[in-house]
Amino acid sequence: MAPKEEDPKKRIRALTKEIKAHNERYYKNNTPTISDKEYDLLFSELKKLEENYPEFVSPNSPTKTVGSDLSSQFSKFKHQVPVLSLENTYNTEELWEWIVKTGEDELYSLEWKIDGASILLYYVDGKLENCVTRGTGGIGDVVTENVKTIKGLPHELKSGRTVTVRGEIYMNFSDFEEFNEEYGGRFANPRNLSAGSIKQKDPAEVAKRPLRIFVYDAIFGKGRKGITEHKEILKLLKEDKFPLAPDTEIIPTKQLLQHIEAFRKKKDKTGFPVDGLVIKLNSLEKRESLGETSQSPRWARAFKFDALLKDTVIEDIDFAIGRTGKITPRAKVTPTILAGTTVTYATLHNQDYINELGAGIGAKVLISKRGEIIPAVEKVISPPTQGVFQLPTECPSCKTHLEKVDDSVDFFCTNRHCPEREKNSLIFFCAKKQMNIENIGEKQIEIFYEQGLAKNLVQLYSLHKKREELLAMNRFAEKSVDNILSAIEKSKEKDFRLTLPSLGLNEAGHKVTEILIENGLDSWDKLVALAKKKNAEEELSNLHGIGPRTVQALLGHLKDKETLTLVKNLIKLGLKFKADETEKSNLQPFIDQSWCVTGSFENFQPREKALDIITKHGGRKVSSVSSKTTHLLYGPGAGSKLEKAEELGITLVNEEEFLSLLKKEGIPH
């Protein structure tokens, strides 16, 4: 490697050459010769030099490629044409500036911007040969077998065309909610789950996920000869039975703003996630004349809804370390008032997101606060002074090497005694949705932890022995100390339905716990005994609603020495790791029936209330539809469960029918 003091022009050239050679070895030959970290160092050095000496930047610089989502486990595919991204606009003025540049007398396609994972589908003579992620924009991951599991995607085209189709893999909200519920709520949103799902190792696992696809563009075999408009592309895609997003319109400039407003009004009714609109020139000839930058076409713009935006500067970047060890980078920004509150932090989600934005310390950025509580960095207006930020390789709290887990885009600290993880586990345990220990929140846990009074659950439940120390700290009044201690004591009344999920063990959330209890596995001891059996895996897999991932995770916990000791000690301290008997009625009309539920209901909110009636009166509730399910109770917004139940010929019951069934049986609700 050349010394860093070299003249900048030479150094930029040397770095460019070196990085390109590494790219070649990594992507094409799969034979990298340096670590990712060393690569990242070279990359950020080049980026920084290019910012300081823009006059020496080569148009083919490796820094000019679109952010990469490549994973090492997939084979690579060189895209036939660069896969570009879209430039965002955030208000009509900004959009209009662009319209003026494109020529005002044009037709535009106005489409939903679907919030999922971008995919390229390569058909040769009508056969789907390769499905490839966007990757770096130049090279993508081949995920063909995974994508082929998506229902409604044609594997063969009637037209026999050679065509590259571009689309978005997504998930409906209702499907996401049902699926996420089964997985203990571990996925943040449908977009992350969709992107993670297509990167699964096993296509059989992907097939279980309710993925869907919409396509929105195509490049035909021998150029676009004969095709002059976007409208025709969409028509041809339709004829070949591709799923197209609803509502797309081709309209003249003067109708644009009015139609954008109409889209805005119905944006929450689509049922699938949208993060704005895409406005594209309809004329392909006009598109060609405008061309594209290295990142995005000049003939299209994304239009973001409701993004209440403010500009500020990233002063520093730190991290939130969750109870699961997940590391979320957060930008510390110059305090800015946004939607009535002062924002000091904005999330940067993960490394992929940072790369996509080109964010880093010193960057001037736009932050937004939409429906979410935590503001996010949305756009980089002027580049960072210290290069694009790279997540550390070690946990900022305990220095453990960070790892990616499964299909996640996130990095995790795997040290379960990491102080941040321990603190957040305690906060989680006490939270409203878990043990609901009143008077204990983030602030109190922070104090207990920092003062060494309670670093884990056993110490939390022994806190009554430290009443004097708690008082002596002068951080809490006597009354608050007593309230805290009695809330801890009171929480011992909670049974296995809450104690198990509150431990925060992976895949052992409320839903899974319910299923275990319903199937007679209603205590920790029973679970431990089961795990010791030879056929434990089989027995657990037979339970409806418990997938293979959950089986493996549960067996792992039930054999894990530390977890076993923890629960043993908590039981000694008086916590219940057994489910209380639930009241059973004499009326048992649902006996031998297995009910599943989907959608929403007027009289049962949350819908679990309907299932509680069923279990109280002899039935079983299950979280997913299978051949063993006998009934599906469905309401508006029903997801993929309804389709599956129809396919399997399961008895379908709507809310009205359910109510009259209850009435007939004399069951109150």
522 in Cβ contact with 454 (< 8 Å): no
What is the CA 232 to chain-centroid distance, rounded?
34
Positions in 561-590 near ligand IVH (CB under 6 A): none
What is the CA 627 to chain-centroid distance, rounded?
29
Q: Which of 118, 149, 312, 640 binds ligand IVH (CB under 6 A)?
A: 118
In the complex, minimum distance from the CB of residue 280 to ligand IVH, in angstroms, rounded to a whole number: 7
Q: Which is nearer to ligand IVH, 116 or 325 (CB)?
A: 116
Q: Which of 168, 495, 507, 522 binds ligand IVH (CB under 6 A)?
A: 168
Task: For residue 332, indicate whether it is catalytic.
Answer: no
The answer to whether 50 contacts ligand IVH (rule: CB under 6 A) is: no
Of the residues 113, 379, 455, 641, only one is catalytic, namely: 113
Q: Which of 86, 320, 553, 571 binds ligand IVH (CB under 6 A)?
A: 86
Q: Which of 84, 398, 431, 487 binds ligand IVH (CB under 6 A)?
A: 84
Q: Is 36 annotated as a binding residue?
A: yes
The answer to whether 219 contacts ligand IVH (rule: CB under 6 A) is: no
303 in Cβ contact with 260 (< 8 Å): yes
In the complex, minimum distance from the CB of residue 110 to ligand IVH, in angstroms, rounded to a whole number: 10
φ, ψ for residue 312 (rounded to 5)?
-160, -175
Pick the closest to residue 230 from 211, 245, 249 (CA basis): 249
Q: Which is nearer to ligand IVH, 300 or 503 (CB)?
A: 300
Pick the closest to residue 592 from 615, 619, 629 (CA basis): 619
Distance CA 156, CA 59 (A): 39
Q: Tokens 């809804």 sit at which residue?
A: 305
What is the CA 313 to chain-centroid distance, rounded?
26
237 in Cβ contact with 165 (< 8 Å): yes
In the complex, minimum distance from the CB of residue 65 to ligand IVH, in angstroms, rounded to a whole number: 14
Q: Is 304 annotated as a binding residue?
A: yes
Per-residue binder mask for ligand IVH (CB under 6 A), 259-288, x = binder: -------------------x----------
Q: Which of 300, 314, 354, 653 binds ligand IVH (CB under 6 A)?
A: 300
225 in Cβ contact with 432 (< 8 Å): no
The answer to whether 378 contacts ligand IVH (rule: CB under 6 A) is: no
Distance CA 437, CA 445 (A): 12
Q: Tokens 């709290």 sit at which residue?
A: 397
Q: Is 398 annotated as a binding residue?
A: yes
Distance CA 345, CA 299 (A): 34
The answer to whether 297 contacts ligand IVH (rule: CB under 6 A) is: yes
Q: Give the CA distances from residue 545 to residues 89, 210, 268, 542, 551, in Å, rounded to whole numbers and listed in that order.
A: 43, 15, 29, 9, 11
Q: Is 24 annotated as a binding residue?
A: no
Distance CA 289, CA 646 (A): 50
Task: Determine the residue with CB nearest ligand IVH.
Answer: 118
Q: Is 131 annotated as a binding residue?
A: no
The answer to whether 302 contacts ligand IVH (rule: CB under 6 A) is: yes
User: In sequence order, which residues have a C-beta less than 8 Å from that of residue 42 and are 6 or more positions away?
Assistant: 15, 18, 19, 22
φ, ψ for residue 480 (rounded to 5)?
-65, -40
In the complex, minimum distance from the CB of residue 222 to ligand IVH, in angstroms, rounded to a whole number: 20
In the complex, minimum distance from the CB of residue 88 to ligand IVH, in angstroms, rounded to a whole number: 7
Q: Which of 114, 234, 260, 662 binds ligand IVH (CB under 6 A)?
A: 114
Q: Which is nearer to ligand IVH, 78 or 609 (CB)?
A: 78
Distance CA 53, CA 30 (A): 32
Paired with 168 in beta bridges are: 118, 214
What is the CA 389 to chain-centroid distance, rounded?
21
Count of residues near ligand IVH by CB under 6 A: 14
> What angle in degrees, to the nearest 10, is found between the helix axes of 190-197 and 173-182?
70
The answer to whether 667 contacts ligand IVH (rule: CB under 6 A) is: no
Distance CA 359, CA 350 (A): 11
Annotated binding site: 36-40, 85-86, 111, 134, 168, 280, 304, 395, 398, 413, 418
Q: Which residues bind ligand IVH (CB under 6 A)?
A: 84-86, 111, 113-114, 118, 168, 216-217, 278, 297, 300, 302
Residues annotated as part of the active site: 113
Name the binding residues for NAD(+): 36-40, 85-86, 111, 134, 168, 280, 304
